[in-house]
Amino acid sequence: MRVICHGGAGGVPDEPEPRQAILDEAADTGADATGVVDAVVSAMEDLEESPRFNAGYGGAVQSDGVVRTDAGIMTDEREAGAVASMPGVANAAAVARVVMEETPHVFVSGVHAVDLADDFGVEVERELVTDDGRDAYEGADPPEPDAGPRNHLAWLEGTFGGGASRSDAEQSSGDHPRDHDTVGAVAHDPETDTFAACTSTGGRTFALAGRVGDVPQIGSGFFCAPAGGASATGAGEDIAKATLTRRAVRHLENGLDAQAAADRAIDEFGELTGSSAGVIVLDEAGAGSAYNSEGMQTSVATSE
């Protein structure tokens, strides 16, 4: 089993080593799994439980002070599941798997996705906001949660994505910046020649309550086909408009290897949008990654 994980494309953390150690552990966890779906979901769970990444516990706080999680998963057989806008659910990837394997649907959202998670044994009603996240939100002078979307939109004009709202303590904590710290994994099992891709996120800092970005959208935050799989991270609205992971996998289908496909997809993304993103790609021969942001940490592991 070969697994590649990413910890988000964005700024360079002050303390990259602890984040890299968690990424390495997640990749190892995935590589030790049986089956590609188990591989990517178990890798995601390691990252969703760490406040050093913007997924699950420690996810980005939306304009009403709530963390809502999104995730998507897909296999090379084009089986797929996605969830979005789930308060209190850290392990969003596991819920996306439930949608894929236990329902006739592709996408379930909001409180109904939370109910689905609860019925299938995924823990709900968890506190996902860290102390740092709460301090940053309260320090940004937010509107009342029930102030209405217009007031929330007026407030987030200067705060969406985190920006200047991060405190000095947060900037030096090693856990920030959080703007693009989505996590993702792609796995390949050479014995069965199967692939799976999965991406999980807490969204973007101080987005409008209920905002959903690229992560749970097939072909944007994640995509998989017989040629391989990809997971993306970065400026979600632009990734969705450019269908970044579908673009990367199409390059695999056209004969490029994983690294060349990642490079080509990010080059095209930058030309199309002028924005920043990263992508990891896996094919039967190996792994590739590319980004045009300041940094993106990745890890690759292969089972013995």
Catalytic residue among 29, 182, 243, 298, which? Answer: 182
Cα(159)–Cα(171) distance, integer angstroms:
15
> In sequence order, what are the residues at sequence separation of 6 or more whose Cβ sits closer than 8 angstroms to the Cβ of residue 295?
9, 10, 11, 12, 13, 16
Tokens for 3, please give them: 């697994």
Cα(279)–Cα(233) distance, integer angstroms:
6
Beta bridge partners of 278: 233, 291
Known catalytic residue: 182? Answer: yes
Tokens for 80, please give them: 């797929």
Beta bridge partners of 67: 61
Q: b/e for 267-299, b at 16 or more Cβ within 10 A?
A: eebbeebebbbbbbbbbeebbbbbbbbeebbbb
- Cα torsion at 58, 63, 69, 70 (round to 10°)? -130
Give 26-45 as a DSSP string: HHHHHHTSSSHHHHHHHHHH
Tokens for 300, please give them: 């690759």
Positions marked active-site: 182
